[in-house]
Structure 1
Amino acid sequence: MASDGAARDHSAADPVSEDHSHSKAGPALVLACLGVVYGDIGTSPLYALRESLVHAHEEGLPESSVIGIVSLLFWTVVLIVTIKYVVLILRADNNGEGGTLSLVAKAQGALKKGPRSKSRRLLMLLGIVGVSLFFGDSMITPAISVLSAVEGLALIEPGFQAWVVPVTLAIVIVLFWVQRGGTDRIARLFGPVMLVWFSTMAVLGISHIADDARILQALNPLRAAAFLADYGIAAMPVLGSVFLAVTGAEALYADMGHFGRSAIRIAWSVLVFPALALSYLGQGAMVLAHPETVSNPFFLMAPSWFLAPLVILATAATVIASQAVISGAFSVAAQAVQMGILPRLHINHTSDRQAGQIFLPKVNSILMFGVVALVLSFGSSARLASAYGIAVTGDMVITSILAVVVFRWAWNWRWPLIAVVMVPVLGIELIFFSANLLKLLDGGYIPLLFAAVAIAAMVIWVEGMRRLQERLAQDSVPLDVFAAKLSKSPPMIVPGTAVFLTADPAVAPPALLHNLKHNRVLHQRNFIVKVESATTPRVPEDARLHLQDIAPGFWRARLVFGYMEQPNVPRALAQARHVGQKFDIMSTSYFLNRRTLRAGRGTLMPHWMARVFVTLYRSASEPTNYYRLPSNRVVELGQQMNI
C-alpha cells in the first residue's frame, strides 16, 4: 500500500488512490487545514457534554452516568470521525475532490458502466437531499456556535446575559457582511488561532483529569454500552445531544480537494482528536468532582483569571467555524449549479490566487437571514441545541449510502466485506438519526423545513428543465438538416464568427433562427456550442473542447468543465486553434436566446409547479457573466413561452 503522500493512478477499482493536488502535507498546509476543516467540530466541546448531561435528567448525576456519557462522546468521535471519515470516506475521492456531490458523481460514474444506469437519477435525488440538509445545517451552525461562545461572558458578568443576543447578532451580521470582500487575507489567521484553541482545550482538559481519575474508565467502550443498557429507551435524548460532538465531521471529506487527505489525517491524529478527547475527559472529571459545574463545564474548567481570554478565544474559534461552514455552502452551491440542480447563480471570485475563494450574494443573503432568525427565535445555545443534529445525521446517513455504492461498484468490494465495514457505521448513524428525531417538536423541524424548501426547489428545477428541453426539442429543426439547407442556398454572408450557446446541439438554436428571421444574414463561421458539466472536479485543457464539422461554415462544439470549475467559454473556444480554427475576439459575436417563461395556459407542468419553476428561471444570473462572455460582443434575442 502506498503512503498517504504518494500520488497514484485514480483507477475505478483502486480504493487507495491518492489525491494529486497535495501530495505532500507540509506544516503550513496542516496549519491551514485546522482553520477550515476542523473549525466546526473543534467548537463542539463548548456545548456537547453540557447538553448530554442535561438530558440525563438525574439529580446529582451518579458517577456511572457521567462516565457513561463521556464514554459515549469519546467512542462516537472514534467511530464516526476516525473510522468512517478518516479511514474510509477520505479514500473515496473523485480525482482528489470530496463532498456529497463528488460522491454522487463518483457513484453515478460507477453505475453508468453497468445495467444499473437507471439508478443514477435516484443517486442524484439522494445528492439533492444531502445538499439540502447541508444548507439547513449551514444556518444552525453559526447561530449555535457564536451563541455558545458569547454566553461565556455571562459567567464573567451575570448582568451581561441581556446582551448575549445583541452581541451575537452583531458578530453574525459582520461575519456575513465581510464575505463580499473575500476572506483570503484574514483566513491566514484561522490556522494559528485554531492551533491556540486546540492547544488550550488540551491543556485545560489535562489540568482537570486529576480531579477524579475515575473518568479514565470512559476509555472503555463497555461503560458506554452499560449506560445505554441501564437507561434503555430513555437514553435516546442523551444520544441526540451526544451526536453534537461530531457535527462538522462532514467537512473532513468536503474540504479534501483544498488540502488533500494527508494534511487532514495528520491534523486529526496529531492535534484535533487528542484535544477533543482530553477536553471531554477533563470536563467529565471536573463534573464528577464538582457536580455544580454541570451548568457550563467547558468554561468552568478555566481558572478565574483566564475566563475572559478563554471567552474571547472561544468567540474567535466559533467565528472561524462559522466562516468555514459559510465557505462550504458557497462551494456546494457552485457545484450544484455546475451539475444542473440549481439555476445559474451569480458568482464573484474574491481572490486572484485561490480559485476556491468565491462569493455567492444570494446564498450569503439567505444564510444571513436564516441565522439571524434562528438567533432571535431561540435566544440561547441550549434551546438551539434542540434543533441541531437532525440535518447533520441525515446528511451522514446519505453519505454512508452513497459510500456503499462506491465501495461495491467502483471499488468492486464484495457484499460481505461491505457489510462488515459499513453496517455497524450505518447502524450507529441511524440510531443517532432516530434519537435526533425526538427533537422534532422542540425545534428540530426548522432545519428539516429549510431542507424541504431546498429539496423542492432543486427537484422542480431539474424536472422543469428536463420537460422544457423536451418541449423545445419537439418544436425544433434538426441542426444537420438545417445547416445543409443553408449551405446549399445561403442568405447574405457576413464576415466574422458567430457563437450560439444552446442546451441541445442536435437542433438549430432559437437564437440562430431568430437572427436569420430578423436580420436575414449568416456569419461566415457558425459554432453551435453546448456547455456540459463533467463528473470530475476539473477537466484538462486538452480535453475541454470537442469539435465536429456539420456542414460548410457550421461546427458543433461541446465544452466540458469540471463541477469545481467556473465555465469560461471564450477561453475554451480558443483551444480550436489546435485544429485550425482561429477565434478573433474582435470578429466573434455571441448569440444568446433570452427566453421569457410565463406560468399561464401551458401544459408543461402543474400550475403551482410552473410558478415555482418560472421564479427559479427568472432568478438565474445572466449567462454573459456566468460563461465569462465579453459583454460588448453579446447579442440577445428574445422569446416568450407559456409553460
Structure 2
Amino acid sequence: MRTNTDVGGARDTTRLAVVVGALGVVFGDIGTSPIYTVQTVFSPNDPHPVAVSPASVFGVISLIFWSVTIVVTLTYVTFVMRADNDGEGGIMALITLIRQRGAGGSRRATVTLAALGIFGASLFFGDSMITPAISVLSAVEGLKVVAPSLEALIVPITAVIIVVLFLFQRAGTAAVGRLFGPVMIAWFLTISACGIGGIARHPEILEALSPVYALEFMIGHFSIAFFTLAAVVLAVTGAEALYADMGHFGRRSITRAWLILVFPACILSYLGQGALILQDPANVSGPFFLLAPSWARLPLVLLATAATVIASQAVITGAYSVASQAAQLGYLPRLRIVHTSEEEVGQIYVPWTNWLLMVSVLTLVFAFETSAALAFAFGMAVTGTITITTLLFFHVVRERGAPLWLVILGAAPLLLVDLLFLAANLTKLVHGAWLPLLIGFTAFTVMTTWQRGRGIVTRRREDEEGSLRAFIDELHSLDPPLHRIPGTAVFLNRGKETAPLAMRANVEHNRVLHEHVVIVSIETRPVPRVPRSDRLVIDALGYTDDGITYVSARFGYMDPPNVPDVLRQLEGADIECPIEVDTASYFLSTIELRAGDTPTMARWRKHLFLATAGISADAAEYFGLPRNRTVIMGSHVEV
C-alpha cells in the first residue's frame, strides 16, 4: 500500500525530472549568451565601437542586468507565460487566442494582429536558423584563446557538430532533455564559479546591479549607449524559446529553473566579465573564457561547445512547435509530424522543418564564418519577435477584460524597452540585421500565400463536390436503387456541406456503394487539445435507415489526427452504421493543383503556392490510415 509520503516523493521526483529536462532543452540559448554578449559590446569590429572605460563597463553590465530582468523575468516569466492556450505557449498560441476572441469584434483588427503574429512567428524561424550557427561558432572560437593555431579548424568543427545535432533530433525532445539536462546543470554551476572568481578580484563591479549606472549611461552617453543596445540584446536571446517551449515542460518548471539557477548563473558570469575588463581592458577579447584559469580553459571550451549545442536545441524544438501549429491552423500545408513521447503530446519531431533548418544553419556558418559577423543578424531576429509578442500579449490581456489604464500602465514601459532594442538593431541593417528580416519576410510570404491559396482551392473544390445533403437525397431517389456491397467504407471529407469527391466518383462511375458508409471530416479547433469525450459529433444526414453516417472528428492543433483511432470510439455504439475499423476501406479525395488564368493571385504567388503544396505530408500517413486498405481518387483544381 502506497503512503502519502511515497506519492509525494514520486511527485517530487517527477517534478525534478521535468525541471532537469527543461534545463536541457529550454535554457540552452539564453544560458550561453554570456559567451558572446560582453565580447560583442566591446568588439573593435563593431561599426559603432564602445571605448573601454570604468563608466562604460559599469553602464554596460548594468544595462545587461536590467535588460535580462525586465525582458526575461518581468515580461516573459512573470507576464507573457501566463497567456497560454491550454498549456501551449509561443506566438502561435497568442494568435489563436486573438482569433478566438475576434479582436474585440473587429474583423480588420483580428486580421491585422494575426498577420503581425505570423510575421513574429516568421522571425522566430530566422532565430531558429541563426541561433545554432552563432552559438556553436562562439563556443568553438574558444579554441583561439587556448591555441591560436587551431583557428582554421573552427568552421569545419562547427559544421560537424551541427550535422550531428540535427541527426539526433529524431530521438525526441525527452531523450534530448535527459541527456542535456545534467550537462546544463554543470554549465550553470561552472559559469557561476568563474563569475564569482572574477567578482572576487574586483568586487566593486557589484555596484553595477544598481539601475543608476544603466540610466546614467543611457542618459549621459546616449549616442554611445543607444548603439550598444544592439549588442546588449544578445543577453536576452532565448527568452522567446522559454515561451515557445512551454508546452513541452510547463510554465512552473521553466519558471523554477530560471529563478533558482539560470538567472543567477548568467548574472554572475556577466559581473565577473565586467570585473575582468575593469582589471585589464585588454581582456575585452574573449572575457568569458579568460575568466577561467589557464588550465581550465580547454575543458571550458568543450563544456561551452556542449552547452551551445543545447542552445540550438531550445530554438529547434520551438521551431517544431511553431511549424506544427501553423500547419494545423492553415498557414502551412500538413506536415509529417512524429510524436516522440507517449506521455507528453507536445513533444514532437517535424522532419521537413529539421532538414530545412540544418541546411540553413550550415549555409550561415560557411557564409559568415565568425560569431561576431552573425551577432547583429541575431539581435534583429530576437528584438522583432519579442516586440511583437509583447504587443500581442497586452492585446489579449485587454480583451480578457483588464482596464485600459492598467494595460497602458503595464505595456508602455515594457514596449518602450522593446522598441529601443528594435531601433538600435535597425541601425545595423547593412551589417547583417537584414538577414532575419529577409528570412522573416520570406516565411511570412509563404505562410500568407498558402493561407490565401488554400481558401481559393477550398471554394473551387466545394463547387465541384456539390451539396452533401442534395447528394444523399439523390441516392435515395435512384431507380433502380444503387447496388450496396458488404463492408464498411470511410470517406474523408473537408466538411459537412459538400460531398466527398471519392464517394461521388464511386457512385457515378462504379454505380456501387458499401453497405456501411462513414463520412468523416477533420475539424481543427483553435485549442491545443480536445478531450476524447468532446471529439465526435454524429449526424444521420436526414435518414436513419440508409447506412450512411456523418462524423465530425474534432482535434486540437497539438492532437495527432489519427482517424482509425478516433473511429474506435464508435465501435459498439448504437448508431445506424456499425463501424468495423479493422476491416474498413478508406477513401481519400486528392486534388491536383494547377495555375489557372483567373486573377485570384499574382502569378508568382500561384507558383509559390503550388511549390509549397509539394511539401505536404502523405495524407494516408498523416491521418494514420492503413496503406493496404486505402483508396485514393483524384481530381484537379485551378488556382
Q: TM-score, normalization: structure 1?
A: 0.93
2:105 to 97, 102, 115: 115
Indicate yes or no: 2:143 matched with 1:145.
Answer: no
Q: Cα gap change, 1:186/1:98 in structure 2, threshold over 3 Å: closer, same or farther?
A: closer
SS of match in other structure, 1:523: strand
**Residues 548 and 122 of structure 1: is their aligned pair in 2 closer, same or farther, counting only changes over 3 Å?**
farther
- C-alpha distance after superposition, 1:387-432 (max 9, x if no partner): 111111111111112111210112x100111111111111110110
Deviations 1:409-460 (A, max 9, x none): 12x1001111111111111101101111122111111111111111111101
The DSSP-based 3-state class of the residue aligned with 1:619 is: coil
Q: How does 1:260-339 map to 2 (within 5 A)?
A: 260-339=250-329
**Alpha-carbon offset, residue 118 of structure 1:** 5.1
Q: Contact 2:21/2:174 (CA < 8 Å) preserved in 1?
A: no
Distance 1:498 1:149 in 2: 58
Does the CA-based 8 Å contact 2:345-2:558 persist in structure 1? no
Are the aligned partners of 2:244 and 2:321 in contact in 1 as well (CA < 8 Å)? no
Are the aligned partners of 1:37 and 1:255 in contact in 2 as well (CA < 8 Å)? Answer: yes
Partner in structure 2 of residue 553 of structure 1: 547
Could you tell me which amino acid in structure 2 is paired with residue 517 of structure 1? E
Counterparts of 1:410-489 in structure 2 under 5 Å?
410=400, 412-489=401-478
Q: Deviations along 1:146-182, whole A, 9 cap, x unmatched?
A: 0000000111111001111111111111111222344
Counterpart of 1:628 in structure 2 is: 624
| 1:259 aligns with one of 238, 245, 249 | 249
Cα distance in 1 for partners of 2:390, 2:176 equals 34
Identity of aligned residues (%): 46
TM-superposed CA distance for 1:124, in Å, is 2.7
SS in 1 for 2:527: coil
Query: Which range is displaced more, 301-310 or 522-531?
Result: 522-531
Q: How many residues align?
A: 619
Rounded Cα–Cα distance in structure 2 between residues aligned with 1:130 and 1:32:
27
| Residue 583 (1) aligns with residue 572 (2) | no
The letter for the 1-side match of 2:590 is R
1:205 is matched with which residue: 182, 190, 195? 195
Contact 1:25–1:262, Cα closer than 8 Å, also in 2: no
Report the alpha carbon displacement of residue 502 of structure 1 after superposing the two structures with TM.
Answer: 1.9
Aligned residue type for 1:626: Y
- Aligned-partner SS, 1:639: strand
CA-to-aligned-CA distance 1:92-131 (integer Å, 9 cap, x gap): 111122111112112222237x533553333332232121
The offset of 1:266, in angstroms, is 1.2
Alignment partner of 2:19 out of 30, 34, 42: 30
Contact 2:25 2:173 in 1 (8 A): no
Secondary structure in 2 matching 1:210: helix
Q: Could you tell me which of 475, 493, 504 is aligned with 1:513?
A: 504
Deviation of residue 349 (structure 1)? 3.5
Tell me whether 351-360 or 391-400 shows the greater mean CA deviation. 351-360
Matches within 5 A, 1:372-383: 372-383=362-373
CA distance, structure 2, for counterparts of residue 180 and residue 37 of structure 1: 18
- Give, in whole Å, the separation in 2 of the partners of 1:24 and 1:404: 36
Is the 8 Å Cα contact of residues 24 and 262 (structure 1) preserved in structure 2? no
The one-character-per-residue Cα deviations of 1:298-329 (angstroms, maximum 9, x if unpaired) are 00000001101101100000011112221221
Asked if 1:568 corresponds to 2:536, the answer is no
Corresponding residue for residue 11 of structure 1: none
Could you tell me which amino acid in structure 1 is paired with residue 380 of structure 2?
I
Q: C-alpha displacement at 1:291, in angstroms? A: 1.0
Shift of 1:186: 4.4
Tell me whether 552-561 or 434-443 shows the greater mean CA deviation: 552-561
In structure 2, give the amino acid aligned to 1:384.
Answer: L
- CA distance in structure 1 between the partners assigned to 2:469 and 2:394 by the alignment: 43
Out of 40, 51, 55, the residue aligned to residue 64 of structure 1 is: 55
> C-alpha offsets along residues 15-46 of structure 1, whole Å, 9 cap, x if unaligned?
xxxxxxx9997322222211111110000000
Tell me the CA shift for residue 189 of structure 1. Answer: 2.1
Which portions of structure 1, spanning 4 or more consecutive aligned residues, are displaced by more than 6 angstroms? 22-25
Partner of 1:539: 530
Measure how far apart 1:351 and its partner are. 4.5
Q: Is the 8 A contact 1:547 1:555 kept in 2?
A: yes
Specify the alignment match of 2:8 in structure 1: none
Gaps of 5+ in 2: 1-10
Could you tell me which residue of structure 1 aligns to residue 4 of structure 2? Answer: none
Answer with 631-640 or 519-528: which moved more.
Answer: 519-528
State the secondary structure of the residue aligned to 2:589: strand
Instruction: Read off the aligned partner of 1:499 and give its amino acid letter.
Output: V
Distance 2:475 2:632 in 1: 22
Change (3 A) 1:23 1:399: farther
Alignment of 1:178-257 (within 5 A): 178-182=168-172, 184-257=174-247
> Does residue 1:99 correspond to 2:93, yes or no?
no
Question: Structure 1: how far apart are the matches of 2:604 and 2:382?
Answer: 30
Aligned-residue CA RMSD (Å): 1.9
Counterparts of 2:299 and 2:204, CA distance in 1 = 30
**Amino acid aligned to 2:432:** G
Conservation of the 8 A alpha-carbon contact between 2:25 and 2:176: no
C-alpha offsets along residues 478-511 of structure 1, whole Å, 9 cap, x if unaligned?
1112102212323111122222212232011211
Q: CA deviation at 1:600?
A: 3.8
Letter in 2 for 1:605: M
SS where residue 85 of structure 2 aligns? coil
Distance in 2 (CA, whole Å) between partners of 1:535 and 1:641 is 28
Q: Which moved more, 1:189-198 or 1:600-609?
A: 600-609
Offset, 1:183: 5.6
1:26 and 1:285 map into 2 onto residues whose CA distance is 37
Question: Bigger shift: 36-45 or 228-237?
Answer: 228-237
- 1:594 paired residue among 590, 597, 609: 590
1:596–1:639 Cα contact (<8 Å) kept: yes
- Can you list the C-alpha shifts for 1:352-385, whole angstroms capped at 9, x where unaligned? 5554443322211211111111111111111111
Is structure 2 residue 607 aligned with structure 1 residue 611?
yes
Distance 1:93 1:586, change over 3 A: closer
SS in 2 for 1:263: helix
Q: Which residue is equivalent to 1:17?
A: none
Counterpart for residue 73 of structure 2: 82
Gapped runs of 5+ residues in structure 1? 1-21
State the match for 1:502 in structure 2.
493
SS in 1 for 2:613: helix
Residue among 25, 41, 48 paired with 2:30: 41
Letter in 2 for 1:315: T
Q: Shift in Å at residue 579 of structure 1?
A: 4.5
* 1:575 aligned partner, one-letter code: Q
Q: Does 1:525 align with 2:548?
A: no
Q: Which amino acid aligns with 1:492?
A: H
Aligned-partner Cα distance in 1 for 2:539–2:604: 41
Moved more, 462-471 or 321-330: 321-330
**Bigger Cα displacement from structure 2, 550-559 vs 37-46:** 550-559
The 8 Å contact of residues 108 and 123 in structure 1, kept in 2 or not, is answered as: no
TM-score normalised according to structure 2 size: 0.93
Match for 1:168 among 158, 174, 178? 158
